[in-house]
Structure 1
């Protein structure tokens, strides 16, 4: 299938400078294209997955993607989609973030089996040697103020008297255009892809290429993803969902996807997986007929977790999920993953085992039972368990072996109510 057709049925084509021309252009394998990523943080997040996956999809289709790290543009700040100036970051900070993002992206492409087909480049390499005179004479002269002010990224800020736009961010469009023209001239790059808010910047690059060489090039953008509930995509209760496991644990990553709304999940399968159309349609039909089974969400969570964290981490996450909510053996699961899964659970911490109160009082203190007397009744009724093992003796003495890994115990009342006791 022509990669343009695949992106189209997946709902990933938002704008294109020339749809028919671009589709014909992509019928020939080996086309060079790029997508830029400014190092504005130390980690990529799931909002970056659409362009990352697009580069991988192009590579699988036989084309030659470039992963462009914005070592130069990251020092300036893109005004697109922003209602005020970005906070300036030091050159050292931007460079350090850039190295982390590059390593993260190339590890992602390695897991997709396309690392050899994706070439990393850094726009600082060709921007840093330029003098201000060279930049203004060779690039700036091709842009009129009228043309730049007509772009949405600039126009939306010009109209805000409280913030406006600095000359620095105003120039971002020219720098991005310079990237496209440089890659077109030196590497034969004929396509730039990006988010929907980048269309103005990308088409400015097309104009620069046309003016300087007369070459034909194309622009393609993806839709900005929103959720059916109106919540911002990629945000959890703790903030952004990062691809770095130190910032967002694999368990939390998995849970973000498995909690997808029924109204969103089929679109997410199109956007964020390689699953073919027939398989996604089958999952859509199953979701409509049996939504309680959450088959589409489970498949989405599996596919995305493997893609970012690998099969070994997925196995740990699923084992913990099964043990926590299916009554499995908690002692056999990965302790780090278990702790990550319990971060949001109510809990109490004690310096040592000797400081832990008797079980009935502990249940009351954690709010699992309204009082000590009710806690004793619940224990006798078999409603209380320690690490998924039912307790029936109200005078049950807590012992070191009750603490998984020596420092964590899960108390549960019924199936849904549980809390965590930690030592140390």
Structure 2
């Protein structure tokens, strides 16, 4: 693929929701390497899977010679973007934002190349220019170019104004101008000609283009990516148990891997186009054969492996696959203590105990059985396993031989119901 194909490639991958002056942008990309940026406000200590799409899109541009800039919103995060939010964000302290900025900058560094000469990626922080600006200068030089009428009529703002329980504060209302100024500064100092973001950022991106045109008559471009919504109406990356984070301390690599393994079948090939660099023709061919020899199961695994490796690396991918083999294929020989620590954190239900009388009590205590009678019947019916080995003795006493690394016992009912017992020593 060469530079002139990139916009078509993004279209074929269904990566474009909005785009300005498509033909001019295609011609620009064809004839020169550009600088582009995407902003990430540090409103938490970690990015989540919803941020993967813009990061991978920046990577697509970089591979073809363009220079990606990640803008960390150290200043704008102190205000909070109101775009399509039902209520105002809780305002955070400067110190906390600084701490989150550092963590997110470290996460971003895994996705882009920061040492490839002329198109090496950059991470910038908008606090570096906002902390120097005078409020009167900002209102005079930036605010005068914006009509309140236009700003109020932006869909994201209108939704909040119409709500009787939650209006919109002036603080949030000003966010649009701040992000517009980001684009203006980056265009002036870093020759940025394209901003990308989620489709909910279209209003903010448009404001930046407007400000640049009004102040310098330059033409710049905007491109937004689709926001991914699951069939249940929940934003992609959120589950019943919470958000799927990129930080392995918040979402273990095993749980991250399983998130991708458990996506709906209807999304497998769409996501292979969105999140991987696999050739589009190959993806389409795989989709045609998806019901042959369970091809779709293999392709789902291919997607899970690719994304887990991208975010967490080969070693953590191997751990996720080991744990999967243990739980679903009963292969426990290669288990590591660190794998069990992952399971204890968020892989499967886990309990901490000092002492349990017998297996029946363990089944009840772990909620795998409702009563000792039910537990006994489960054991007799050959449906209970300890560390993947079937237990048929209804009076089995859990002993040291049942403890992995002297502190873990994997209790299973059937193929899909598990509980990890963590044995604690009394102090």
Tell me whether the two structures share a fold, i.e. TM-score over 0.5: yes
The residue that corresponds to 2:358 in the other structure is 358
Report the CA distance shift for 1:399/1:77 in structure 2 as closer, same or farther (over 3 A). same
The one of 326, 330, 342 equivalent to 1:340 is 342
The residue that corresponds to 1:92 in the other structure is 95
Bigger mean CA offset, 84-93 vs 47-56: 84-93
The residue that corresponds to 1:411 in the other structure is 411
Q: Which runs of no fewer than 5 residues in structure 2 stay unpaired?
A: none
Cα contact 1:206–1:217 (8 A) shared by 2: yes
Report the CA distance shift for 1:124/1:231 in structure 2 as closer, same or farther (over 3 A). closer
Query: 1:54 aligned to 2:66?
Result: no
Cα contact 1:47–1:233 (8 A) shared by 2: yes
Q: Deviations over 1:367-410 (max 9, x none)?
A: 55676577667656655432122334455543313111211112
Could you tell me how far apart the structure 1 residues matched to 2:369 and 2:117 are? 54
Question: What SS is found at the alignment partner of 2:304?
Answer: helix
Cα contact 1:262–1:291 (8 A) shared by 2: no
Could you tell me how far apart the structure 2 residues matched to 1:393 and 1:369 are? 16
Q: Which runs of no fewer than 5 residues in structure 1 stay unpaired?
A: none
Kindly state the Cα deviation for residue 276 of structure 1 after the two structures are TM-superposed.
1.3
Bigger mean CA offset, 358-367 vs 305-314: 358-367
Query: 1:253 aligned to 2:256?
Result: yes
The residue that corresponds to 2:265 in the other structure is 262
Cα contact 2:113–2:121 (8 A) shared by 1: no
Report the CA distance shift for 1:360/1:239 in structure 2 as closer, same or farther (over 3 A). closer
Query: 1:164 aligned to 2:167?
Result: yes
Could you tell me how far apart the structure 1 residues matched to 2:17 and 2:370 are? 55
Cα contact 2:72–2:123 (8 A) shared by 1: yes
The one of 17, 34, 37 equivalent to 1:34 is 37
Could you tell me how far apart the structure 2 residues matched to 1:305 and 1:324 are? 18
Question: What SS is found at the alignment partner of 2:219?
Answer: coil
Matches within 5 A, 1:67-78: 67-78=70-81
Question: What SS is found at the alignment partner of 1:253?
Answer: helix
Kindly state the Cα deviation for residue 362 of structure 1 after the two structures are TM-superposed.
3.8
Kindly state the Cα deviation for residue 3 of structure 1 after the two structures are TM-superposed.
1.8
Tell me the C-alpha RMSD between the 2 structures: 2.6
Could you tell me how far apart the structure 1 residues matched to 2:274 and 2:373 are? 53
Cα contact 2:59–2:111 (8 A) shared by 1: no
Matches within 5 A, 1:71-220: 71-109=74-112, 117-220=120-223
Could you tell me how far apart the structure 2 residues matched to 1:103 and 1:394 are? 52
Could you tell me how far apart the structure 2 residues matched to 1:280 and 1:264 are? 12
Kindly state the Cα deviation for residue 116 of structure 1 after the two structures are TM-superposed.
6.8
Report the CA distance shift for 1:18/1:379 in structure 2 as closer, same or farther (over 3 A). same
The residue that corresponds to 1:13 in the other structure is 16
Q: Deviations over 1:235-259 (max 9, x none)?
A: 1222110000000010110111100
The residue that corresponds to 2:297 in the other structure is 294
Kindly state the Cα deviation for residue 110 of structure 1 after the two structures are TM-superposed.
5.1
Question: What SS is found at the alignment partner of 2:110?
Answer: helix
Bigger mean CA offset, 14-23 vs 277-286: 277-286
Query: 1:314 aligned to 2:314?
Result: no
Q: Deviations over 1:306-346 (max 9, x none)?
A: 000011111111111112211112x5312232343364645
Kindly state the Cα deviation for residue 162 of structure 1 after the two structures are TM-superposed.
3.3
Kindly state the Cα deviation for residue 53 of structure 1 after the two structures are TM-superposed.
0.8
Cα contact 1:51–1:194 (8 A) shared by 2: yes
